[in-house]
Amino acid sequence: MNEYPWQEFESRIARRDFRGITKDVLPTPAMLVDLDILERNLQTMADYTKSVGIGLRPHAKVHKSVDIARRQVALGAIGITTATIAESELMSNAGIENVLWTKQPVSRNNIARTIALAKRDATFLFTVDDPQVVDWVEQAAEAADAHCRVIVALYAGIARQGIEGGAAALELAWRVASSKRLRFEGFMAYSATASHTKGWQERKRISADDLTGLQETLHLSKRAGLEVKIVTGGSTGTYNIDKDYGLTELQCGSYVFMDTSYFPLGTRESDGIYSDFGGSLTVLTTVDSKRHPGRAAIDYGNKAMARPTDQVKGMPWVSVGNQGAEYGALLWKEGDVTREPQLGDRLEIYCSNLDMSTNCYDRYYVARGGEIVDVWPIMGRAGAAQR
């Protein structure tokens, strides 16, 4: 039995004294990062983007971790992509430059914060898809004596954001470019549908389809003499596709950890597991009751984002079920198993959607083998901190 002094757990973590902290002593459910696999993923993407000459501005909504963002930048990332103004403030305040916020400021609150951030961090960028927003931002920038770097977001297959590519997009881009306070930097086109399509050829086909509006816009911009410095988009699923369609940089996020929605999508070479990047993130859970055949209860429940599409690491014959706020189920067919989970076992579970899961936990326990070697806060989660 490990004799770790429990009453000192939090104070030791606060002073970064990780001696004696192993996976066995962690309270569960807990989010674990396998540092060897994470480092490999970061390196693979950094090497790839360098080798083909495309920029990498990884999406931070997946990890919400300044520690990981800094590692990405140290390996050559040209900035960090964010999903909310709060994430943008967080990353910029931590000293990360060239933060790109992929939504547009619309509420008065968001416009004021966007202008304030642009004023104190001249490298910050954000997107717009509407002339009304350009006017609002222009007025606010004028009033605050600020200047902003702006990207025009194009529709690329999902109807949540983005102006139609072509003449309308070019007109909006000119409106930004001719403003006194806004600097036009380029276009964003993110093909969400392609990202999670099974089969590399099919991902490529959908990317090509979704990015036709971008092609047309780039063509018109060139003809009109509009300088386009940045063309941003892309995902973990299409990282080795997007350059062909005019992207100058990638916003991939999931590649750092990977999840079960990405595992089965296939690589360029084969249709099996998407093995370009490894599963570095798991939720550690404890089997805390086993009174019924073919099933056991774990402490990874609804509040911890347990889902039937999760997978148990190293035990493909066991599936995950929902049982309650603080209860999850492990399910297996008796007689069909190599090994049954036992009472008290500690198992690791790959989650189904990184963004949702990481948002539920306040820290990553960073492991090399069984040892915890670091603890990284997961920042700006849910509630007020996320907005």
Ligand X SMILES: Cc1ncc(COP(=O)(O)O)c(C=O)c1O
Residue 262 in tokens? 């990405």
Only one residue has tokens 């067919």, namely 333
CB 240, min distance to ligand X, A = 12
Interior CA angle at 140 toward 135 and 143, to 5°?
125
Q: Indicate the residue among 59 and 243 with the shorter CB distance to ligand X.
A: 59
Residue 147 burial (C-beta neighbours within 10 Å; 0-12, 13-18, 19+):
middle
Q: 151: part of which helix (H) or strand (E)? A: strand 148-153
CB 354, min distance to ligand X, A = 7
- Determine the interface stretch with ligand X among 208-216, 234-242, 266-274, 357-365 (rule: CB under 6 A): 234-242
Phi then psi dihedrals of residue 320, to 5 deg: -110, 140
Work out which of 182, 252, 315, 378 binds ligand X, going by CB under 6 A: 252
Q: Indicate the residue among 253 and 341 with the shorter CB distance to ligand X.
A: 253
CB 54, min distance to ligand X, A = 14
Q: Does 253 bind ligand X (CB under 6 A)?
A: yes
Q: Indicate the residue among 140 and 188 with the shorter CB distance to ligand X.
A: 188
Question: What are the residues whose beta carbons fall under 8 Å from the beta carbon of 310, sequence distance 6 or more?
Answer: 260, 320, 349, 350, 351, 352
- Determine the interface stretch with ligand X among 215-223, 231-239, 321-329, 364-372 (rule: CB under 6 A): 231-239
Q: How far is CA 366 from the centre of its chain?
A: 18
E strand intervals along 215-318: 230-233, 249-250, 281-292, 295-298, 311-312
How far CA 203 is from CA of 215, 238, 240, 244, in Å, comes to 17, 7, 10, 13
Q: Which of 278, 320, 316, 317 is nearest to 299 (CA)?
A: 320
Structural contact between residues 255 and 45, judged by C-beta atoms closer than 8 angstroms: yes
Q: Indicate the residue among 19 and 160 with the shorter CB distance to ligand X.
A: 160
**Interaction mask 274-293, ligand X, x per CB under 6 A:** --------------------
CB 57, min distance to ligand X, A = 9
Q: Indicate the residue among 138 and 242 with the shorter CB distance to ligand X.
A: 242
How many residues belong to the site for ligand X (CB under 6 A)? 12
Rg (C-alpha) for the chain, rounded Å, is: 23
Per DSSP bridges, beta strands 319-324 and 230-233 are unpaired
CB 220, min distance to ligand X, A = 23
The torsion defined by the Cα of 113, 73, 44 and 279, in degrees rounded to 10, comes to -50
Q: Does 236 bind ligand X (CB under 6 A)?
A: yes
CB 127, min distance to ligand X, A = 9
Q: Indicate the residue among 176 and 256 with the shorter CB distance to ligand X.
A: 256
Q: Indicate the residue among 83 and 366 with the shorter CB distance to ligand X.
A: 83
Q: Does 251 bind ligand X (CB under 6 A)?
A: yes
Q: Does 182 bind ligand X (CB under 6 A)?
A: no
Q: Does 248 bind ligand X (CB under 6 A)?
A: no
CB 384, min distance to ligand X, A = 22
Only one residue has tokens 């501005």, namely 57
Q: Indicate the residue among 191 and 286 with the shorter CB distance to ligand X.
A: 191
Q: Does 230 bind ligand X (CB under 6 A)?
A: no
Q: How many CB atoms lie within 10 A of CB 381?
A: 15
CB 39, min distance to ligand X, A = 18
The 10 Å CB-count burial string (b at 16+, else e) for 323-346 is beebbbbbebeeeeeeebbeeebe
Q: Indicate the residue among 186 and 237 with the shorter CB distance to ligand X.
A: 237
Q: Is the dihedral of CA 218, 221, 227, 230 positive or negative?
A: negative
Residue 367 in tokens? 């492991």
| Stretch 81-120 residues interacting with ligand X (CB under 6 A) | 102
Work out which of 235, 240, 311, 353 binds ligand X, going by CB under 6 A: 235
**Interaction mask 47-76, ligand X, x per CB under 6 A:** ------------x--x--------------
Q: Indicate the residue among 181 and 243 with the shorter CB distance to ligand X.
A: 243
Q: Which residues bind ligand X (CB under 6 A)?
A: 59, 62, 102, 190, 195, 235-237, 251-254
